[in-house]
Amino acid sequence: MANFNKLFGLKLRTLILGHPLSTQDADEAKVGVLGGVPVFGSDIISSQGYAPDEILYVLLLAGSLGYAYILKTSLFIVLLVISIFLVYRKAIQKYAEGGGSYTIARAYLGENFGLIAGASLTLDYVLTVAVSVSSAIENLTGIMPWLAPTEHKVLADCLVIIFMAWINLRGLKESARLFSIPVYLYIGTLALLIGTGLIEILVHGVTPTAVATGHLASSTVSGVTWFILARAFAGGTTALTGFEAVSNGVTAFKNPSQKRAIQTLLILAIIVSLGLIGLTYLAGAYHLVPAEGNTILNQLGLIIFGKTLPYFVLMATAAAILVIASSTPYAGLPILLSLIARQGYAPRYFKNLGDRLVYSVGIWTLFIVSSLLIIIFHGDTHSMLPLYAIGVFISFTLTGIGLAKHTWQERRGNWKLDFMIFSFGGIVSFLVLLIFIITKFTQGAWIILIIMPLLVLMFRGIHHVYQGEIQDVRITSEASQEFHNFVIKVKRRRAHIEPADYKNKIIVPVYDLNLIVLKTLKYAYALTPQTTAVHISSDPVRTAKLLKHWAEHHIEIPLEIVESPYRATVHDLLKYLDKVEKNGNYDTITLAIPEYVPEKLWHNILHNQTGQLMKLMLLFRKSILVTSVPYNPVLKKHL
């Protein structure tokens, strides 16, 4: 019955998440350029669809005169796109491990600026999920009125977020396969829309007529002022949200990963630039007015396509891509958090790959936090929108300024051109950031200015805890010598006894070599010479490091390496115990688990509690004894 339940659970898990993928198949689970565009570009592609509305909302404050400036505004945004592309191309070239703004800011501006970049991107990714999904559901209320009540809308939002989490837990290739058709169909239909509209105006000499259902904003200012232009430019830069994701996710691309990431970034820059110029030109030519429930994209579709099949395809894929846009954070944030975790600023379990070679803890975290945001803000897009673009422009600013500083310090080759490009991107992004903060402050932007420092403090606090723990458990020369003396003393005591006479076997699971492990090995070896240290190898780099340390400290206890191709460490340890139990001639087999006891209770959330899971899994195994060997740094300090 137990085997049946285990088999049923395994089949159910495989059905939901797919077959586990081996670490050796990591490159096969990654995406190429064609897959990278929908996975990492859905956010930025969807953003350009409503950027013309954001520009016109501001420009039309000056009346019909605003139409004369819409194309100029979009051209200046494209200039910023080019600059940001060149900035992130350099970031990708220099840092194959990804990390984008976080890596650049930390390397060239210092630890604090790196953490600010990491915090801003974390917020931006979470808000992208919440805003994209809530916007998509709000757009559906017109044809599905039963979604209009707040409780129904919130439930629908959460269900969509669950669906997106599930798809991404199945792996990047699964996401790419599912999202490619609607994303590429949207791009193709949008190109057809812009191309047809331009041909009608430029070639056939069609005179556009205003058909917008909205009402032109009455002029509340005398002419177009610099402040209005600046606000319109800032509003249009919402088309750039999502650009950062490619530089964060370099490791998700097939080899050569950097080359493929740059190619993906270039394609996205071209799509956004041409799409934005085309849409704003047509909107200005037709004198369209953005209105609630009747976007510029919808109005252009009706004018150019009419109520034909291309129009319905355009609007259907536009709605779909708003949902798909939430996939970009699911691809980008877990990779970013894994990098932050590797450097000790986030809980270590964020750096672990799941069964499907994705950072599943990061995906679950994004799902939980974005769902909470939806519940707190009642699924209201407008309440969350003021917080949306601030994070990404903080990261743009820090990346541009960081690379500009680095270029100035090195001054190699054609450094002057690079310095101008990086400085332009950083300064303009900073100005846009200031405009967002000033104009959106009372609408909720102040929340960002509170949450950001709290996130940075949290990162620093986690790093402080980990650094303290590393110091607590680091092996000193004195501790190493004491261990050797202990082993020699025990061997002398057992000189006249054959090891085979001992029928009790003790196994010590080892992740790293430290004082906790030494204490556990001393405990085990004092009871029996039949002591073996076992390392479940899910990361070849970690295994090589452990073997090196084991040899350097001349640890006399044998160390066995058990390969874990699917990174199921607990499962593979249990299989190893089964093998020892079957093949060995022992009366008892004991698993002695090295256990670190944190100084404070809340520090436990920074550890993955693998030891507790092992004890739980072995609870009903009568033939296997389990014991914990606690290591308490507080008691050690008081001795």
**574-632 pLDDT tens trace:** 889 888 888 778 888 999 999 988 888 788 888 877 777 787 777 777 678 889 898 88
pLDDT confidence band for 414 (50 / 70 / 90): confident
**Dihedral angle computed from the Cα positions of residues 172, 175, 179 and 183, in that order, rounded to the nearest 10 degrees:** -20
pLDDT at 145 over 80: no
Tell me the average pLDDT across 512-516: 92
Tokens matching residue 411: 């001054």
Confidence of residue 172 (pLDDT cuts 50, 70, 90): confident
User: Is the model's pLDDT at 557 over the cut of 90?
Assistant: yes
pLDDT tens, residue by residue, 243-284: 888 888 888 888 888 999 999 999 999 999 999 999 999 988
Q: What is the pLDDT of residue 462?
A: 93
Q: What is the spatial distance between Cα 327 and Cα 165, in angstroms, rounded to a whole number? A: 8
According to the model, what pLDDT value does residue 115 have?
Answer: 94
Q: What is the dihedral of CA 608, 611, 615, 617, to 10 degrees?
A: 50
Cis preceding linkage at 256, omega within 30: yes
pLDDT of residue 227: 81
| Among 152, 210, 188, CA closest to 318 | 188
Report how far residue 566's alpha carbon sits from residue 267's, in angstroms, rounded to the nearest whole number: 34
Residue 121's alpha-carbon distances to 86, 134, 463, 471, in angstroms, are 19, 20, 19, 30
Contact indicator for 127, 388 with CB cutoff of 8 Å: yes
Task: Decide: 590 and 504 in contact? Cβ < 8 Å.
Answer: yes
Q: What is the largest CA-CA distance in the chain?
A: 105
pLDDT in tens, 436-481: 888 777 777 778 778 889 999 999 999 999 998 888 889 988 999 9
The DSSP letter of residue 441 is: G
Q: Kindly list the distances between the CA atom of residue 357 and the CA atoms of 17, 530, 559, 572, in Å, as whole numbers in the listed order.
A: 11, 36, 27, 17
* pLDDT exceeds cutoff 70 at 15: no
Q: Are the beta carbons of 34 and 179 closer than 8 angstroms?
A: no
How much is the average pLDDT of 149-172? Answer: 86
Cα atoms in the Cβ-side hemisphere of radius 13 Å centred on 189:
26
Q: How far apart are CA 95 and CA 339, in angstroms?
A: 12
Share of the chain above pLDDT 70, in %: 88
Q: Give tens-digit pLDDT for 283-334.
A: 888 888 887 667 888 889 988 998 899 999 988 888 888 888 888 888 888 8
Q: Supply the pLDDT for residue 14.
A: 54
Q: Taking the domains of the chain in order of start, what are their residue ranges?
A: 2-465, 475-638
CA–CA distance, 589 with 574 (Å, rounded to integer): 12
What's the predicted TM-score (pTM) here? 0.83
Q: pLDDT band for 19, please (50, 70, 90 cuts).
A: low
Does residue 349 carry a pLDDT above 80? yes
Q: Do domains 2-465 and 475-638 have the same CATH topology?
A: no
* In CATH, 2-465 is 3.40.50.720: no
Specify the CATH number of the domain 475-638. 3.40.50.620
Interval 66-78: pLDDT, tens: 888 888 899 999 9
Q: What is the pLDDT of residues 226-246, one digit of tens each?
A: 888 888 888 888 778 778 888
Mean of the per-residue pLDDT values for the chain? 83
Binning pLDDT at 50, 70 and 90, where does residue 383 land?
low
